Amino acid sequence: LAAGRCQVYLHGRQKLWDYAAGSLVLAEAGGQAVTLDGEPVFRPSLEPRSAVAALDPALFRDWCRWLEVPGC
């Protein structure tokens, strides 16, 4: 996402170490990522979680609405 090779990233049931570095790079580039529960991807738990992420705010909101993510 941060490099502009894709516009939206959707993943399911990954562990923190699967997405931590990419989520940090995305945040530094101005993008957003949340779990499908509408929570921040970084939480004090190592439980697997699913998430949606995008660099463009409008596209991020559209996907959150389409996926019915609470709070987006």
For 32-47, how does the pLDDT look when each residue is reduced to its tens digit (9 = 90+)?
999 999 998 888 888 8
Average pLDDT of the residues of the chain: 91
pLDDT band for position 19 (cuts 50, 70, 90):
confident
Instruction: List the structure tokens of 25.
Output: 């790079």
Q: Please, what CATH class does the domain formed by 8-66 belong to?
A: alpha beta
Reduced to 3 states (helix: H, G, I; strand: E, B; else coil), residue 36 is coil
Q: How do the domains of the chain map onto residue ranges?
A: 8-66
CA 21 to chain centre: 12
Nearest CA-CA partner of 48 in 9, 16, 11 = 16
Element containing residue 12 per DSSP (H, E): strand 8-14
Q: Which amino acid is at 17?
A: W
Q: What is the pTM of this model?
A: 0.84
Q: What is residue 51's predicted lDDT score, i.e. its pLDDT?
A: 92
In this predicted structure, what is the pLDDT of residue 57? 94
Closest residue by Cα to residue 1 from 51, 56, 41: 56
